[in-house]
A and B are shown apart, each in its own frame.
Chain A
Amino acid sequence: QVQLQESGPGLVKPSQTLSLTCTVSGDSISSGGYYWTWIRQLPGKGLEWIGYVYNSGATYYNPSLTSRVIVSLGPSDNQFSLQLSSVTAADTGVYYCARGPYYDFWSDSRLYGMDVWGQGTTVTVSS
């Protein structure tokens, strides 16, 4: 059974960097064909894709956040991370990590959506 778990500070000061880690169990980030994704949900709002990383280390970001975001593999095996710099109160919300989509090499297409999610972690930006 694949499980994802977010971890990191629940409180970040304005202008600082939000850093979260997602630990994956039951699957291997390095050997599979999945993208590993960060998504957030701001208070009372819908879902916003932040970005994802492939097992090669290739990354893709939401243009609305690209100047402030880094998604990367690590720091340990079967973990991937999110860094969001220069945070403001508008970045307060619930941050989720998720598995997917799956990249099918032969058809050059993305499949299955995001099929496994972490429980989410609440991050508050406040001084």
Chain B
Amino acid sequence: EIVLTQSPGTLSLSPGERATLSCRASQSVSNNNLAWYQQKPGQAPRLIVHGASSRATGIPDRFSGSGSGTDFTLTIDRLEPEDFAMYYCQQYGTLLPVTFGGGTKVEIK
């Protein structure tokens, strides 16, 4: 099983600042099958990035994903009020089970 470790656990930032979220895998993620999801309280997760760096449909370009192998990053430029939420990384490659990281909470400072 691929264990995903997200850091930091909580990120306290102000609107307009940049958020940098990290996701480290215990072994290489095949084909960079790494996704990022945003979840707000009481809502289902929403796909933000797939394939490590491809934005999902309708996601603003202030969100960007990068990385490969075992180290991945989600960057949110110029945080908007609606970006404050929980973020999860996920690997969905050929090595099952599909796993999620523990999440990073982006909160308003």
Contact = CB atoms under 8 A, between A and B. Distances in A.
A, B in one complex: yes
Interface of A: 37, 46-49, 52, 60-64, 96, 100-101, 107-115, 117-120
14 contacts: A46-B100, A46-B102, A49-B99, A62-B97, A62-B98, A96-B45, A110-B94, A111-B33, A112-B51, A113-B50, A113-B56, A114-B90, A115-B57, A117-B45
A107 B51 CA distance: 14
Chain B interface size range: 20 to 34
A1 to B, nearest CB: 11
A119 B42 CA distance: 9
The DSSP consensus for interface residues of chain B is: loop
Most B CB contacts (10 A, CB to CB) among A60, A64, A112 go to A112
Interface string B1-15: 100000000000000
Interface of B: 1, 30-31, 33, 35, 37, 43-47, 50-51, 56-57, 88, 90, 92-94, 96-103
Contacts of B93: 109-110
Given A101-B92, A112-B51, A113-B90, A63 B103 contact: no
Contacts of B44: 96, 117-120
Contacts of A60: 96
Given A62-B98, A112-B47, A114-B92, 7 more contacts: A62-B96, A96-B45, A101-B92, A112-B50, A114-B90, A115-B56, A115-B57
Contacts of A61: 97
A16 B50 CA distance: 37
A62 B99 CA distance: 9
A115 B55 CA distance: 11
